Amino acid sequence: MMSTKAFTLVSAVEWELLAGDKERVHIECVECCGKNLYVGTSDCVVYHFLLEERALSTGTATFSATKQLHRHLGFRKPVNELRAASALNRLLVLCDNSITLVNMMSLEPVPSGARIKGAAALALNENPVNGDPFCVEVCIISVKRRTIQLFLVYEDRVQIVREVSTPEQPLAVAVDGHFLCLALTTQYIILNYNTGFSQDLFPYCSEEKRPIVKRIGRQEFLLAGPGGLGMFATVAGISQRAPVRWSENVIGAAICFPYVIALDDEFITVHSMLDQQQKQTLPFKEGHILQDFEGRVIVATSKGVYILVPLPLEKQIQDLLASHRVEEALVLAKGARRNIPKEKFQVMYRRILQQAGFIQFAQLQFLEAKELFRSGQLDVRELISLYPFLLPTSSSFTRSHPPLHEYADLHQLTQGDQEKMAKCKRFLMSYLNEVRSTEVANGYKEDIDTALLKLYAEADHDSLLDLLVTENSCLLTDSAAWLEKHNKYFALGLLYHYNNQDAAAVQLWVNIVNGDIHDSTRSDLYEYVVDFLTYSLDQELVWKYVDWVLQKSEEVGVQVFTKRPLDEQNSFNPDRVLTCLKKYPTALARYLEHLVIDRRLQKEEYHTQLALLYLDRVLQQRSGTGSEAAETTDTQLKLQHLLQKSDLYRVHLLIDRTRGAGLPMESAILHGKLEEHEEALRILVHELRDFAAAEDYCLWRSEGRDPPYRQRLFHTLLAMYLQPGPAAPELAVAATDLLNHHAADFDAARVLPLLPGSWSVQLLRPFLTGAVRNSVHARRTTQVALGLAKSENLIYKYDKMKLKGSSVQLSDQQLCQMCQNPFCEPVFVRYPNGGLVHTHCAASRHTNPSSPGPGART
């Protein structure tokens, strides 16, 4: 058990002030109402004192008592109990089994002489059920066996209300509304005197210990239970609080929230109602009275009266925090809510949570500290300020006063232990990362993000780059100096970029790639710079570094132009780009491919330039191998594809360049572009002996053309195959393959006379079968078309007959529906809707379709 100083014991009334030299007289009971203190003695005297309280700077107080008067009640018995009814200005005095009403100020009995006789003990109902404000409800234990009586007490009279029988003799009573909490001879019970229902609580032995029954709040009582336990019970007969453990021989108990105070023969003990722990022990011998009056706790011996002065709860909490007893402090702070105004409590409780958080933080209990910081809505700069140099130099933050902790900085907190400092920094990184996007960061995001950047940079943390490439509030000046100090130049470039200083960022990265400064963050930094320039909107910046990126790698560097977003490509003039790329042939070729193939720009200059570039490269490759029969290269395939697909390049220029260059395929394609099909096919058939290429040529050149054009090409190729010569047998085989594979592309009537008589029908079976099938299909298709035309003609004839079958009446009074003039002769045009017009009006309408008319058809 760790002690807490919750109360101080101060003297209120010394014996000399009370009874002077009367040694045999002793104090029997006390009552306190506001500043009025009443003391009943064994010689049947009631004393009235006026208490004056003087607060001390330590948070406690002292009391001085001024004797007002005293009065002997006229009995020879001691004063057993005193109860003040301030609403009536009456003091109820129990003496010699009789309750007398006396004036609170003069101590004179009421003139009517009203009193309650036969009372062994009394209790006031502090939760009255009677609605009359000018009376009090009094419950007494009657001298009659096993009887409780209830009275209404007025200023000058008393009225009995109810008499209740109990199963055993009652020894102590407390009342709340209709409920009586009774200590009987062997047990405690709850009794509803209105309904008669009783509820047993728990047993006890009255011969062994003195019973205690005390009302502590609405419908709740405190009882002295077995085994030295202070038990709580509600009127429903249940306990909503855990019991407190006090002395076996407890004499009295009092409540001063959140504490239960118990008195025994030697000590006053203080127990928390919140965690049931004993908090304080005060030596106090010969005490026999302990009572609380509206928050004021009074304890008395037979010779003196003392007051237990509670220390302010806030001071108690601070003392607990100073002892690092965080849990106890928080429990006490929560319990104090009922005694402190809401706004004041919230301010106080937040500060306590923050202080507790720093205590846990200093003990490296980071999870607990984080929850306390968040619950206490800590200004996170309080935490950052513990770490030297993390707050920006421009920050106006000053620590809370009075301070939330006792540490100057992290070095003092960890006593220089590097491992502890590292743990603290890791915690701060985690905590700042969590709170930077929450309401906790409102108003000082710059301080948080700058501190987080510094921590990441110092720890070489991967999250540094994530912070800089997302939305952040890092201050440029502080952050830049810190990143440079820790050689984080790539991250510094990201910081410059975020602050719209792209030129500084790129120059920094270029220096890293060139080796002028060292930073190994990215091994692909060159590619990153190219990608950055590709998406940059700053044309001046791109042109400044384009030579640098191309000198490093033409293939990669040209991407600043070729991979630029489509909506940005038009901002770079292709002619200017081409001029720039003349020094870089590989990049030039790739950019021209981008213009011609990717963007499909229809400009002769680009197509011709790309074709010439391919051609020069092919010729260069061929000269390098020293053979004109070298295998077809990728570049040559690109050239052939471009020559076939493009119609924009200068064909004559390329023919001149390919003449005599040993490029027959390219020459054939170029002749085909000039519609010089015989020359093109001659090259393919006689020079290259590539019969498949010749067939492909016919298909390529006839693509999108009418069937007769396609037929002419295939007939030209067939005629070339059938020409006599040394290669006639090989060409004959090619001719039969051509006919059999493309039967639909030949006119069989023209082909058959050309074929040698030695060729068998079996040899040409596929061709002949296809020719017959095509002929039959054509005839049947023609017959179907003719039939459809005849049907349509018949429909029109039928419509005409229907129109002629109806009569039309025409008079000189009828008007033309177009010109609104009368008909002068019986010649007219009739529309399907029945409208009649002049013949010349109908003719003008057909020559001018926009003219209004009565119908769409005649």
- Tens of pLDDT, residues 487-534: 999 999 999 999 999 999 999 999 999 999 999 999 999 999 999 999
Q: Does the pLDDT at position 855 exceed 50?
A: no
Q: Does the pLDDT at position 858 exceed 60?
A: no
pLDDT at residue 346, rounded to an integer: 87
Residue of higher predicted confidence among 340 and 267 = 267
Q: Does the pLDDT at position 849 exceed 50?
A: no
**Would you call 217 helix, strand, or coil by DSSP?**
strand
Q: Does the pLDDT at position 656 exceed 50?
A: yes
pLDDT at residue 846, rounded to an integer: 66
- Round to whole Å and give the CA distance between 196 and 57: 53
| pLDDT > 90: percent of the chain | 52
Average pLDDT over residues 305-310: 90
Task: Tell me which residue of 299, 330, 326 sits closest to 313, measured CA to CA.
Answer: 330
pLDDT at residue 626, rounded to an integer: 55
Average pLDDT over residues 380-384: 93
pLDDT at residue 847, rounded to an integer: 61
pLDDT at residue 389, rounded to an integer: 92
Task: Tell me which residue of 91, 89, 97, 96 sits closest to 46, measured CA to CA.
Answer: 91
Residue pair 654/670 in contact (Cβ under 8 Å)? The answer is yes
pLDDT band at 750 (very low <50, low <70, confident <90, very high): confident
Task: Kindly report the pTM of this predicted structure.
Answer: 0.64
306 burial via Cβ count (<10 Å: 0-12, 13-18, 19+) = buried
Q: CA-based angle 577:578:583, to the nearest 5?
A: 105
Residue of higher predicted confidence among 858 and 317 = 317
pLDDT at residue 137, rounded to an integer: 94
Sign of CA dihedral 425, 431, 433, 439: negative
pLDDT at residue 848, rounded to an integer: 56
Average pLDDT over residues 144-170: 91
Task: Tell me which residue of 217, 220, 216, 276 sits closest to 246, measured CA to CA.
Answer: 276
Q: Does the pLDDT at position 850 exceed 60?
A: no
Tell me the CA distances in angstroms from 189 to 174, 199, 321, one per residue in order.
Answer: 11, 6, 42
The pLDDT mean for the chain works out to: 88
Q: Does the pLDDT at position 130 exceed 90?
A: no
Q: How many CB atoms lie within 10 A of CB 358?
A: 24
Q: Does the pLDDT at position 762 exceed 90?
A: no
pLDDT band at 833 (very low <50, low <70, confident <90, very high): confident
Average pLDDT over residues 720-742: 86
pLDDT at residue 268, rounded to an integer: 92
Three-state SS for 714-755 is HHHHHHHHCCCCCCHHHHHHHHHHHHHHCHHHCCHHHHHHHC
Residue of higher predicted confidence among 778 and 431 = 431
**Would you call 620 helix, strand, or coil by DSSP?**
helix
Q: Does the pLDDT at position 3 exceed 90?
A: no
Measured between alpha carbons, how far apart are the two ends of the chain, in Å? 117
